[in-house]
Amino acid sequence: MSQAILFKGIDEPGLNTIDVYVKRGGYEQLRRVLTTMTPEAVTEELLASGLRGRGGAGFPTGKKVSFIPAANVDKYLVCNADESEPGTFKDRELMQKSPHMLIEGLVIGAYAAGATRSFIYIRGEYVEQADIIDAAMLEAQEAGFIGENLLGSGFSLSLVLHRGAGAYICGEETGLLDSLEGKRGNPRLKPPFPANQGLYQGPTLINNVETLATIPHILAMGGAEYAKIGTETSAGTKLVSVSGNVRRPGNYEVELGTPSREIIYGLAGGPPEGREVKMWFPGGSSSPVLEPKDLDLPYDFNTLQKAGSMLGSGAIIVVDDSVAVVSVALKLAKFYRHESCGKCTPCREGTRWTVSMLERVDAGLATPMDLDIMASVQEQIIGNCLCVLGDAMAMPIGSMVKKFRAEFEAHIEAARDRNPYGGDDPGGRDGLDPVLVQGAADA
């Protein structure tokens, strides 16, 4: 069931201060790494641990570190604390309660990658958490864990906390880099990948908060030992944010490979009295939805991928049977329309037209043929943009239309009966968006 590595005793009062953290054995691994290990040895441990990125893509962390070229240039480490995927709130709890765990992992990660400057890009809405990290950074600096010549090892590292200003796209790594450089957060064309040309055109390692926070624990128990937790291809534990129609929403740390039913029903208490699970998002709102029959799938990267979805950021959103699937789809599509940066046409136009079509479905103006068109729009977004924001809308919406097509059709019929004149065509006379008309582009 739940296994504690990151969350062990995280509610301890004062854990956000360096004194309590050190008393619990904090910064010991950093001390050991800086005084006895080479960067290559740290990378070896990470490779052996089988740790995969916890931000969404699930790329092996050790491999990512090893991609950073050894050349003698300015290298950077960026911690992605933007956590903007709807349904995800694990990094928030981690940063709020144990900021030093993140800082220790970040310094070790920078040492392995040879980075001399590091940044934490935190989303602008997390004001409280940013203040906590600010205070923790000062403490770490005073204790000599950030700065020049750390613990006499000759390794120096600066750390800057950068607060964003509210944009979903800045959680995408290249959008984040542009935002950190003081521009609009538009994603970049890849390749070149950030490992070669990232922040300020220098080699850059970008990792999620949870990934970095796990590093000290891996070094403490040894990479090979860590790899024994979880499944063969998905090692370790994962913080899972469960939300939506469940009785005990919250963050739970589980061993990867735990049956999903155990997380949703066992830990989070399942849907409210008298309700059933209708569908669930296994990895944030960008993951294709799964049905109740998939509840017994083990919760790990490969199984969910095989089931046609993904583990993503580890955010389970449960939707119960009292909710209309069309309203969920419309909510999602509106969100992605608002957050599309507008750089790539398939995403910019695709999100807008999907909203228009879903509004037609909701108003009873659509026909079953519209559903086919909508599905084909989703197919044409996927893989045709610089980043995956468009895909992030297309995958769940496409999967909803596919899996709940009967309900979409029934919704059209019911809306037509309820509203025989169709009301105001939400698409407007020229297909213009009513949101634009009112001049309030709210999600």
Partner 1 sequence: MIGRKKKQAAAEAPSETNGNVGTVATRDLPPAPQRTVTRFGHGSRVPGWDDAVDLTKDPAEVPDPATTPVDAGLRAEIEAHMAKYPDFRSAAIPALAAAQRFHGWCSPEAIEQAACVMRLTPGYLISVASFYDMLETQPVGRHRVYVCTNISCSLCGADELMARLLEETAGDPDFNVRSFECLGACDIAPMASVNDIYVGPISLDDVPALVEQIRAGVPPLPNKQLHLRKSTDPNAAS
Interacting positions 330-359 with partner 1 (CB under 8 A): 331-332, 335, 338-339, 341
Considering the rule CB under 8 A, would residue 365 count as an interface residue with partner 1? yes
Structure tokens at 122: 């935190």
Considering the rule CB under 8 A, would residue 300 count as an interface residue with partner 1? no
Binds partner 1 by CB under 8 A, chosen from 29, 49, 61, 88: 88
How near is the Cβ of 91 to partner 1 at its closest, in Å? 8
Scan residues 199-258 and list those touching partner 1 (CB under 8 A).
200, 241, 243-245, 248-253
CA 422 – CA 410 distance, rounded (Å)? 16
CA 385 – CA 268 distance, rounded (Å)? 36
Considering the rule CB under 8 A, would residue 410 count as an interface residue with partner 1? no
Considering the rule CB under 8 A, would residue 138 count as an interface residue with partner 1? no
CB-nearer residue toward partner 1: 31 or 163: 163
CB-nearer residue toward partner 1: 9 or 222: 9
CB-nearer residue toward partner 1: 84 or 214: 84
Size of the site for partner 1 (CB under 8 A): 92
Helix (H) or strand (E) holding 156: none
Binds partner 1 by CB under 8 A, chosen from 37, 58, 65, 93: 93
CB-nearer residue toward partner 1: 16 or 49: 16
CB-nearer residue toward partner 1: 61 or 84: 84
Considering the rule CB under 8 A, would residue 163 count as an interface residue with partner 1? yes
Unique residue bearing structure tokens 């740790």: 51
> Measuring CA to CA, how many Å separate 9 from each of 12, 50, 161, 237, 294?
6, 25, 26, 15, 32
Q: CB under 8 Å to 340, separation ≥6 — which residues?
A: 169, 347, 348, 351, 389, 390
Q: Say if residues 263 and 316 touch (Cβ distance below 8 Å).
A: yes
CB-nearer residue toward partner 1: 64 or 97: 97
Which segments within 49-170 are labelled E, that is strand?
76-81, 117-122, 158-163
Considering the rule CB under 8 A, would residue 184 count as an interface residue with partner 1? yes
CB-neighbour burial class of residue 274 (10 A; exposed 0-12, middle 13-18, buried 19+): exposed
- Interface mask (CB under 8 A) for partner 1, residues 415-434, using x and -? -x---xxxxxx--xx--x-x
Structure tokens at 384: 């045709």
How near is the Cβ of 1 to partner 1 at its closest, in Å? 8
Considering the rule CB under 8 A, would residue 115 count as an interface residue with partner 1? no
Scan residues 12-41 and list those touching partner 1 (CB under 8 A).
12-13
Helix (H) or strand (E) holding 237: strand 237-244
Considering the rule CB under 8 A, would residue 276 count as an interface residue with partner 1? no
Considering the rule CB under 8 A, would residue 162 count as an interface residue with partner 1? yes
Q: Say if residues 87 and 128 touch (Cβ distance below 8 Å).
A: no
CA 186 – CA 417 distance, rounded (Å)? 44
Scan residues 43-72 and list those touching partner 1 (CB under 8 A).
none
